[in-house]
Structures are given as structure tokens and as C-alpha cells.
Amino acid sequence: MNKKLSLAVLLSGSGTNLQAIIDSINNGKLQADIKIVISNNKNAFGLERAKQCGLKNLCIDHQAFKDRETYDKKLIQIISKENVDFIVLAGFMRILGANFVKCFPNKILNIHPSLLPKYPGLNTHKKVLENKDKEHGVTVHLVDEGLDSGPIIGYAKVKVDVKEKENDLINKIHKIEHFIYPEILSELQEGKISIIDNKIKIDDVYCKDGKEYFI
């Protein structure tokens, strides 16, 4: 049996993905410890969730720093001390600079509500509806310095109904996120997925496009 994963989770908002990871740990599906939860936003409900679960949590408000580099330096300092296997971005609404990315090679994961490389950035659900896309989805990827870019680890698709409203789509996507993020972490822990030199190996085979998950 592989060792438990140790994780740092970074978020800015409600933290439902953090909750899904916590639940998955608590029900024995994911062998992991969350060492620290960090938010750049003191009002993030995700911090409250961390508190309620007795997890170490901390707000590092980016507004108190003169620039991105100084802010990232502080994050690097704090996260390095925790010695984690993965830094899990779960709705962390900031781009991490090149220095941060360089400090944690093969370790920074993000979840994004679209089928990347389509629709990086905000308002993905709206864009899907405006463009009358027939499918939408969720992507988990390794983070580089770009916006929602980096090698894709896994994704899941959903069909979009013509009559669907943005809120329906948001709920549908959230449900998939709550499945796929813990699942991918669990496969990383079990060694079914590995990340080597910024490349993704799935069941021992290098995989350029990531693995599709069916829910």
C-alpha cells in the first residue's frame, strides 16, 4: 500500500471541492491528510469548512502584498514547511507566478469547469450556453504559469441540454467536480497516475490528453 498523500489546499470561495476531498478522506476512499488550507480571501467559506473539520487554516490576503512575486514568496515559505505531495487548487482565484510553479514541480493541481483548452478563465458555463455547445465538462490539470493551462490529467464530460439554464449547468458541473477531484487524488495516491517531468503517466503509459472519467 502506498503512503498517504499530504496535501495543501488553496481556495478563495465556498470550498465545496475542499469539502468533497475531506468527505472522501473521511469515508476512507482517499488516503490523504490535508496539512493546511490557505485562502487569499478572509471571507471564503472554505476557511470555515477547514476550521469545522479541525484543519490548519490560514488567510493570506494578497492585498497586503506589494506585488504578485512578494505574495507568492510568502505562499512558498508557508507551503514549503508543510512538505506536501500536492498543492491542490480548489477555486483559488489567483494566477501563481513562475517562481511558485518552479518551486513545486509536478505538484500543483487545478480543477477547472470546462473542457480545457476550451474556455480558460471565468464564466465558462455562460460561454458554453452562448456558443450553444453540445457538451461541457470539468478538467483537472497540472498547473503552469498560464491561466488554466498545463498538462491535462483527467476530464469528464456532460451533455448540455438546449433548454438548460446557467444555474442548472453550474450544479451539474459541481457534482462532477466533487467526484473527479477526489478520484484523481486517490489514483495518484495508489500510483495509478503518476507525474514525471511535467508529463502524465496513466497505468504506466504516458498520456498526452488525460484520462476521461465517466460518471
Active site residues: 112
- Give the one residue of 87, 90, 158, 184 binding ligand GRF; rule: CB under 6 A: 90
Residues 156-175 that bind ligand GRF (CB under 6 A): none
Q: How far apart are CA 162 and CA 158, in angstroms?
A: 13
Q: How far apart are CA 182 and CA 189, in angstroms?
A: 10
What is the residue type of 180? I
- Give the one residue of 177, 186, 189, 200 binding ligand GRF; rule: CB under 6 A: 177
- Give the one residue of 112, 125, 136, 141 binding ligand GRF; rule: CB under 6 A: 112
Q: In the complex with ligand GRF, which residue's Cβ is closer, 113 or 210?
A: 113
Bond prior to 117 in cis (omega within 30° of 0): yes
Q: Can residue 120 be called a binding residue for ligand GRF (CB under 6 A)?
A: no
Give me the least distance between CB of 66 and ligand GRF, in Å please. 26
Q: Can residue 149 be called a binding residue for ligand GRF (CB under 6 A)?
A: no
User: Cell for 7?
Assistant: 496535501
Q: Please list the residues that pair with 202 across neighbouring strands.
A: 193, 205
For ligand GRF, which stretch binds (CB under 6 A), given 2-10, 68-76, 77-85, 106-114?
Answer: 106-114
Q: In the complex with ligand GRF, which residue's Cβ is closer, 84 or 169?
A: 169
Q: How far apart are CA 200 and CA 194, in angstroms?
A: 6
Q: How far apart are CA 61 and CA 69, in angstroms?
A: 14
Q: Maximum CA pair distance of the chain? A: 49
The footprint of ligand GRF (CB under 6 A) covers 11, 13-17, 46, 90-91, 111-113, 177
